Amino acid sequence: MLALFLKRGHGGGSNPFQHLEKSAVLQEARVFNETPINPRKCAHILTKILYLINQGEHLGVMEATESFFAMTKLFQSNDPTLRRMCYLTIKEMSSIAEDVIIVTSSLTKDMTGKDDNYRGPAVRALCQITDSTMLQAIERYMKQAIVDKVPSVSSSALVSSLHLLKTSYDVVKRWVNEAQEAASSDNIMVQYHALGLLYHVRKNDRLAVNKMLSKFTRHGLKSPFAYCMMIRVASKLLEEEAGQLLLSLKISMQLLLCSYEGCFRAISTLPSLIATLAITTLLKTGSESSIDRLMKQISSFMSEISDEFKVVVVQAINALCQKYPRKHAVLMNFLFTMLREEGGFEYKRAIVDCIISIIEENSESKETGLSHLCEFIEDCEFTVLATRILHLLGQEGPKTNNPSKYIRFIYNRVVLEHEEVRAGAVSALAKFGAQNEEMLPSILVLLKRCVMDDDNEVRDRATFYLNVLEQKQKALNAGYILNGLTVSIPGLERALHQYTLEPSEKPFDLKSVPLATAPNAPVAVVKQPEKVAATRQEIFQEQLGAIPEFRGLGPLFKSSPEPVALTELETEYVVRCTKHTFVSHMVFQFDCTNTLNDQILENVTVQMEPTEGYEVIGYIPAKTLVYNQPGTCYTLVALSEEDPTAVACTFSCMMKFTVKDCDPNTGETDDEGYEDEYVLEDLEVTVADHIQRVLKPNFGAAWDEVGDEYEKEETFTLSAIKTLEGEGVSELLTFLLAPFRSLTGRLLGQSCSYCDNKLAQASKTQKSIPSPMGTRLDCGRQESILHSTVSGRQTFPEAFQIPPEDLCLLQDVSFLVHPP
């Protein structure tokens, strides 16, 4: 007996399995028949057999069957390792030996026995030797195993069921309920296997798969493996039936990606491009609750990727801020941490952009945002960013609760930095001075110091602002410091150029420059454009200026933003009209298209009959209208001289032309033609056509600048409006701004906190409330318009002011019409 022990030596460096010979090993298997069974020895022999098979050794049917039968004796031993090795042997030999089903009862016993360690492997071995008929016999046990509490048992049963699908689909199909139950398990592998089995069973039923997908993503999946599987299922479904399922799957994917913990682990091992994409996807599909976690995870990762990827991530964060404004604190903190680290210009610029957009959207974040930005510019190497931030400080700082704290930061920049930054700082200081009376003396002192600066620009700015501020007039402050240039810069350039070419006695008139319809570029422009693109207005100006008859009209005030269609789209002749407003004239531009290929129109004009006030001066015809090639004709109309307020008018329009028949194929036309006319829809000219938007970034200052001269006070009784706040204000706005509807589309229905406050104040006093009607429309003719609308029997709006940014302040009267 002792010899048995001595035999087991360590083989030193060599392979104990190296010189195994199949027949010798199988001979050894006879030991299995001996009792008592020596577990160690037998297990070792089994190992050797398995090793041989693993090395590719081929076993004949006879010898395999013999060994198999010998092995079955080993079930008498209760040694765990031996038993497990038996299971393995059964599995390996199941395809070679015959009559392997004799172990079925032993395996079934193990499967349902007390020893949990045996049950899982027993199930797997059993399913390997079972065929369809046998399966029905053990169906009961399989079902029990699937829903078993022990994870290894459940997993084994599920995976075995999966394998059995190939041969016994119909039987396994009946076990889906159990699999469904298993799918809600806490164990990640069980869940994975259960979902996998369910998918494989239902693979061909799209509806069932979809239901499964939405059910489990709604309840959340614990298993990363299951997630991967579900993502694949989802994408497969997407591929097959994009439209229908898109919405529900999109939601599923979002949920999947959001909660997939493994994704974070993955990020550290993936190459940076993929990791960045993973992060941005997470950010884009993030939900409010997951943001804190996301930010923590991402911050460690950011230091490893390159600048371009960082920019991508910042942009994704920007989008996230727009979606979840309440989370601004967390996101801002993150952004500032990133800002303090090393980084290139593009990267820091992206961060600053993001921060500024948060500040602009979210007033709660303003204070912290601005203080952080102040800290940043103390140490910022990029002048462009510094000037941009200074500009922002100048704009937003004075409105905060404690503006003086920003002064120190700004003034330091004047002392310490490059000239561009110093100039920007001077402008910012001036803005503070213009808006805060208490701070004005200190600002004046600071500006006086700047007058001695080395750089021209800085000195000029300081002197200019100093002079303006010392006047202490709100109007000047608003006009020169706070609101800047309202005219379009390219237009100004052109007008100045024109002025220098034609020397004149009169000083240059800024009013001859068309107004800016879009905000001018901010103080610091990153890339100077090579050529400034001409705006639509300028294009029209040039086109109209080319026509001799229109030369004497003066500068173009406004063109209607969109052409008005005067015909349906499908008619023979398609006509659209653009209205151009000049000082005392209007030009109507008609773009006409002839859609009939057997006709040519010549000498096309549009005759207009005004209802009142206007006078038709002349027509510029379109020479010919060939098939499908648009042509333009003009009609010149003068505003009424006697009644400057009669601006609204309806024109009935008729197109008059000479028709010549033409051969559609050859294009030859007849020589003879006949006169014809075509009725168009009526054209409306409203007050809106005479009003141009003026952008006033600083509403308060502009309001004060206008002064009291054009203020109108009226008292009204509100009867139909129940509440003043919110709803009342929007009704107000809708009513009063009806004439300006085309200009202020966005305006209507917007709530205005200023209005709400004023109304709330007012409503506390009395029912029928006298208060100033603060409609600042400073044009003489506007007063009379208000008269006419006000006299109607309606519920009238009450105290309000037009919300900022969209204010349409009219220019001086002289621009529009003869002075009253």
Partner 1 sequence: MEALILEPSLYTVKAVIILDNDGERLFAKYYDGSYPSTKEQRVFEKNIFSKTQRSDSEIALLEGLTVVYRSSIDLYFYVIGSPYENELMLTAVLNCLFDSLSQMLRKNVEKRALLENMEGLFLAVDEIVDGGVVLESDPQQVVHRVAVRGEDVPLTEQTVSQVLQAAKEQIKWTLLR
**Binding stretches for partner 1 (CB under 8 A):** 1-2, 4-6, 8-11, 13, 15-17, 35-36, 43-44, 47, 50-51, 54-56, 79-81, 84-85, 88, 91, 117, 120-121, 124, 151-152, 155-156, 159-160, 162-163, 188-189, 192-193, 196-197, 199-200, 225, 228-229, 232-233, 235-236, 239, 262, 266, 269
DSSP state letter for 481: I
- Collapsing DSSP to helix, strand or coil, 623 comes out as strand
DSSP state letter for 589: E
Q: DSSP states of 568-591 as a string?
A: -TTSSEEEEEEEEE-SSEEEEEEE
Structure tokens at 310: 């960082």
* Residue 101 CB, nearest approach to partner 1 (Å): 19
* Residue 386 CB, nearest approach to partner 1 (Å): 44
Pick the closer one to partner 1 by CB: 202 or 494. 202
Pick the closer one to partner 1 by CB: 117 or 287. 117
Pick the closer one to partner 1 by CB: 82 or 680. 82
Pick the closer one to partner 1 by CB: 50 or 101. 50
* Residue 523 CB, nearest approach to partner 1 (Å): 47
Count other C-beta atoms under 10 Å from residue 302's C-beta: 18
Buried b (16+ CB within 10 A) or exposed e, 129-151: bbeeeebeebeebbbebbbbeeb
Q: Please, what is the Cα angle at 558 between 569 and 532, to 5 degrees?
A: 95
* Residue 598 CB, nearest approach to partner 1 (Å): 49
Count of CA atoms in the C-beta half-sphere (13 A) of 67 = 30
Environment class of residue 443 by beta-carbon count within 10 Å: exposed (0-12), middle (13-18) or buried (19+)?
buried
Count of CA atoms in the C-beta half-sphere (13 A) of 761 = 10
* Residue 38 CB, nearest approach to partner 1 (Å): 9
8 Å CB contact between 514 and 580:
no
Helix (H) or strand (E) holding 69: helix 61-72
Sign of CA dihedral 286, 292, 296, 302: positive
* Residue 89 CB, nearest approach to partner 1 (Å): 10
Count other C-beta atoms under 10 Å from residue 336's C-beta: 18
Pick the closer one to partner 1 by CB: 190 or 653. 190
Count other C-beta atoms under 10 Å from residue 747's C-beta: 19
Q: Please, what is the Cα angle at 574 between 570 and 578, to 5 degrees?
A: 135
Largest Cα–Cα distance of the chain, in whole Å? Answer: 134
Pick the closer one to partner 1 by CB: 206 or 494. 206
* Residue 252 CB, nearest approach to partner 1 (Å): 14
Q: Which of 81, 82, 64 is nearest to 73 (CA)?
A: 82
Residue with tokens 């069932």: 208
Pick the closer one to partner 1 by CB: 35 or 504. 35
- Non-local CB neighbours of 182 within 8 Å, separated by 6+ positions: 146, 147, 154, 158, 190, 191, 193, 194
Pick the closer one to partner 1 by CB: 80 or 522. 80
Environment class of residue 533 by beta-carbon count within 10 Å: exposed (0-12), middle (13-18) or buried (19+)?
exposed
Pick the closer one to partner 1 by CB: 229 or 462. 229
* Residue 724 CB, nearest approach to partner 1 (Å): 57
* Residue 153 CB, nearest approach to partner 1 (Å): 11
Whole-number Å distance between alpha carbons of 355 and 332: 7
DSSP state letter for 285: T
* Residue 91 CB, nearest approach to partner 1 (Å): 8
Whole-number Å distance between alpha carbons of 564 and 568: 11
Pick the closer one to partner 1 by CB: 79 or 307. 79
* Residue 7 CB, nearest approach to partner 1 (Å): 10
Pick the closer one to partner 1 by CB: 239 or 709. 239
Q: Which of 449, 433, 412 is nearest to 481 (CA)?
A: 433
Residue with tokens 């061909």: 204
* Residue 151 CB, nearest approach to partner 1 (Å): 8
Whole-number Å distance between alpha carbons of 716 and 711: 16
Residue with tokens 């007008």: 495
Whole-number Å distance between alpha carbons of 648 and 612: 9
Pick the closer one to partner 1 by CB: 5 or 674. 5
Question: Do you know the residue count of the chain?
Answer: 820
* Residue 537 CB, nearest approach to partner 1 (Å): 46
Pick the closer one to partner 1 by CB: 152 or 318. 152
Pick the closer one to partner 1 by CB: 245 or 478. 245
* Residue 487 CB, nearest approach to partner 1 (Å): 52
